[in-house]
Amino acid sequence: MQLGYFLIAAGLIASLISIYFYNLAAGNGNISRSQRREHGALITVNLQKARISFYASVAAISLASVYLLFLILSHKFQVDYIYRYSSSDLPLGYLISVFWAGQEGSFLFWLLSLTWMGYFMQKSAGTYEARSMIYLNLVQVFFFIILFIASPFKLLPQVPPEGAGLNPLLQNPWMVIHPPILFIGYAAVTLPFVIILAALHQRDYSSWVQRVFPWALFSSLTLGAGIIIGGYWAYGVLGWGGYWGWDPVENSSLIAWLSALAFFHGLIITRRFNALPKINMVLGVISFALVMYATFLTRSGVLADFSVHSFQDLGINGILVLFILLVLAGGFGLLASRFKSVQGGSLRLDTINRQSLMVFGIFLFLGSGFLTILGTSSPLITELFGKPAQVDISFYDKVNLPVAIIMALIIAFAPFFRWKDGLSHGAWKTLLPAMVVALVASLAGFAYGIQQFLLLIFLFASVLAISVNIILLVDRWRTSRDKLVAPLAHLGLALLFAGVVLSSGLDREERAILSLGSEKSILGYKFTFDGVVPSADGKNKVVLSVNENNTVKTVEPRLYFNKVNRGMMREPDILSGLTKDLYVSPLEIRQTESQPRNEFVLSKGEKYELSEYSITFAEFAMSKDHQSELFTVGVKLDVMNGDKKYQITPALLLTKNGQEDVPAELNDSQRNLKFHVKKIDADNGKALLEVTGLELDSPVPAPPQLLVEVSIKPFIGLLWLGSILLSIGTLWAMRNRFLELSN
């Protein structure tokens, strides 16, 4: 295990050497033209040494990562990190995911991603190479320090025979995909930051936007994809029926993504009009600082009482805070010192045009991010004045819903405005039909149950944006296919918005208790609880049959005891359709007490076998005596014994003083049976009955009961489809910018 420490140390030393030689190359690069020929060879030599040192750092981190993975796959439980997150019975995929399951491993993966992205950035950095690589190496040094404080190679004093195991909640295929994508996104935010610092340091603003743009898109793509995959994972696994809970860990990723979105939209303006360069440089610094602040919030333990995801404190709080302060001080200090030299063009913001709408959209992203980070940081803020407290979840919905409405309206109207002045000719020919479609969709939403005014406005804006961008896609497919990126990405965002508002506004939910083998109607579906099937991984399957219009399907949600948090966990099963999802989540298995065989509950139409008798509940029989004001509720029963059929009606007589038993007698084969009604549940069509006069065997256990929560999520598929289209549009734009950079 000392090899791991050695490789981390080797990577740190190589990064420091790389900084030294890059600094020499950058310093020599500032000489006058007359001296450039004389020092050109020296610059080249220093650059080569700096690159070789950096490559050595990449190799050391790569080997350290391979070594950690080897230790995980070899079940070396004497390594503290592997003991806490692994066990010998984990499948290969989950063993691989142990790499990033905990803090120490995730920091190593973060550094691994950063070094390899730095490798590719260095090859395309051009004149910014030396300075940008100095700053990138400095960021790597920070991570090396973290890995020495919280090492994934730390040994336990004794060798455990077995590992503690991976949390069952994390034993999901998405665990292999979601965290790596998110950490790659975190690492990618670093690259625009270091290029901006390099441009400022050199006072060279000739091509910084071109160098930064593809990496800004890449960070937006990976952060967004990571967030959406995390939401889909939560929706399909956690069993509470949602995909976003405004948890601090979720919020931290969202804040970074909103900043990245604002950043690359700002870069569009700078690239086209050479405007807003200072604002975009600020955004590049802020985006990186926000990623580090989010890391502090979620990995320092300060929100341990307010987040279901938050990690414990590993003693890295001080270094995290110090690094954030250095990033802000260094970035803004350098920008302040070069403020006058950063020159940009002007924008026409005194009228409504595409420029002003895009600038307004940028500040919407930033406003949403600010309000979200304010709510997420509320425990830290309130602790300054007393007891720490967090804002209610409704805070995030209230502040972000108006932002989302305005954003949807912007992506609907912006394409029809010229860059500098007013609406383009013929815009209303497209807008009016789209507005009619949006209005019809909003009226339909109201008719089907969306009552909240802002949700209806949100639905209108989302459908308007969908309609407009579909029309634009069709038109540009015919005329200029190289301009499909923006409408495709905006269509994706609009579909995502529509999926959010429809799935939440039209959501229906019902809880019910199902007895084993019995059938019950829930939200228009007939459910039958078929039993519990043990699973090899400990996640027992709850098997239910679902009958919709005589088409029977099986769902198998899971209900199991989680040894890690020592509580019962549930995983839903989902029947996905074109227009809705049927979401089935088990809540509890109830083992009811034994009951006598001659005491039983019957629903209308249900049959019960008792000895040689078959008893069927036909219907209720109710009557009222108007003179005495007495009310009688009877239960009509069809009783079969072989080929003999009897019809009897035991009842309850309801009086002012309570209720009296009115039994029904049945004389059969020298037996005198009495049927009693003990309790009636008229709302659910059930009756508790008792039969006396039969000698029976000992009581039998009552069948187990399942408490289940069933919900219908209308049009939630639009959310996932929109996310895919948004990602494809961003990927396409990123590809174009990388091609532009390579030419």
Q: Which amino acid is at 47?
A: L
158/520 Cα distance (integer angstroms): 55
pLDDT tops 90 at residue 494: yes
Q: How confident is the model over 683-703, as a mean pLDDT?
A: 77
Range with lowest mean pLDDT among 83-97, 176-190, 328-342, 527-541: 527-541
Q: Considering only residues 694 and 326, tell me which one the structure prediction assigns the higher pLDDT.
A: 326
- pLDDT-derived band of residue 312, with 50, 70 and 90 as boundaries? low
- pLDDT-derived band of residue 593, with 50, 70 and 90 as boundaries? low
pLDDT tops 60 at residue 103: yes
Q: Considering only residues 615 and 40, tell me which one the structure prediction assigns the higher pLDDT.
A: 615
pLDDT tops 80 at residue 596: no
Q: How confident is the model over 638-646, as a mean pLDDT?
A: 88
Q: Considering only residues 140 and 683, tell me which one the structure prediction assigns the higher pLDDT.
A: 140
Give residue for tokens 């966990």: 569
Q: Considering only residues 546 and 239, tell me which one the structure prediction assigns the higher pLDDT.
A: 546
72/44 Cα distance (integer angstroms): 42
pLDDT tops 70 at residue 145: yes
Q: Residue 483: what are its φ and ψ, rounded to 5°?
A: -110, 30
Q: Considering only residues 564 and 56, tell me which one the structure prediction assigns the higher pLDDT.
A: 56
pLDDT tens digits for range 497-545: 999 999 989 999 998 889 888 888 999 999 999 999 988 777 889 999 9
- pLDDT-derived band of residue 692, with 50, 70 and 90 as boundaries? confident
Q: How confident is the model over 2-22, as a mean pLDDT?
A: 95
pLDDT tens digits for range 195-243: 999 999 999 998 999 999 999 999 999 999 999 999 999 998 887 778 8
300/319 Cα distance (integer angstroms): 10
Q: Report the pLDDT value the prediction gives residue 31, as an integer from 0 to 100.
A: 44
Helix (H, G, I), strand (E, B) or coil at 154: coil
CA torsion through residues 205, 208, 210, 213, sign: negative
CA distances from 473 to 110, 341, 481, 637 (A): 37, 41, 9, 66
Is 375 in contact with 251 (CB distance < 8 Å)? yes
Range with lowest mean pLDDT among 99-108, 294-303, 446-455, 670-679: 294-303
Please give the share of the chain, as a percent, with pLDDT higher than 70: 93
617/495 Cα distance (integer angstroms): 50
> How much is the mean pLDDT over the chain?
89
Q: If you write DSSP's letter for every residue of 729-743 in order, what string do you get?
A: HHHHHHHHHHHHHH-
- pLDDT-derived band of residue 697, with 50, 70 and 90 as boundaries? low
Q: Considering only residues 93 and 35, tell me which one the structure prediction assigns the higher pLDDT.
A: 93
Q: Report the pLDDT value the prediction gives residue 609, as an integer from 0 to 100.
A: 80
Q: How confident is the model over 603-631, as a mean pLDDT?
A: 81
Q: Which amino acid is at 191?
A: L
- pLDDT-derived band of residue 435, with 50, 70 and 90 as boundaries? very high
pLDDT tens digits for range 68-98: 999 999 999 999 999 999 999 899 999 999 9
Cβ-based neighbour number of residue 169 at 10 Å: 16
**Nearest residue to 11 (alpha-carbon basis) of 50, 51, 49, 54:** 54
Q: How confident is the model over 30-55, as a mean pLDDT?
A: 73
Helix (H) or strand (E) holding 338: none
Q: Report the pLDDT value the prediction gives residue 29, as an integer from 0 to 100.
A: 45
Contacts of 524 (CB under 8 A, 6+ apart): 548
Helix (H, G, I), strand (E, B) or coil at 707: strand
Helix (H, G, I), strand (E, B) or coil at 224: helix
Give residue for tokens 């296919």: 481
Cβ-based neighbour number of residue 452 at 10 Å: 13
Give domain limits for the chain.
511-592+708-714, 599-699
- pLDDT-derived band of residue 35, with 50, 70 and 90 as boundaries? very low
Q: Report the pLDDT value the prediction gives residue 733, as an integer from 0 to 100.
A: 93
pLDDT tops 90 at residue 685: no
Helix (H) or strand (E) holding 417: none
Q: Report the pLDDT value the prediction gives residue 86, as an integer from 0 to 100.
A: 93
Q: How confident is the model over 433-450, as a mean pLDDT?
A: 93
The DSSP 8-state label assigned to residue 274 in this structure reads S
pLDDT tops 70 at residue 38: no
Q: If you write DSSP's letter for every residue of 584-653 in order, what string do you get?
A: EEEEEEE-PPPB-TTEEEEETT-EEEETTEEEEEEEEEEEEETTTTEEEEEEEEEEEETTEEEEE--EEE
pTM of the model: 0.83
E strand spans, 626-670: 630-641, 644-648, 651-655, 658-662, 664-668
pLDDT tens digits for range 374-393: 998 888 888 778 787 888 88
Q: Report the pLDDT value the prediction gives residue 32, as an integer from 0 to 100.
A: 43
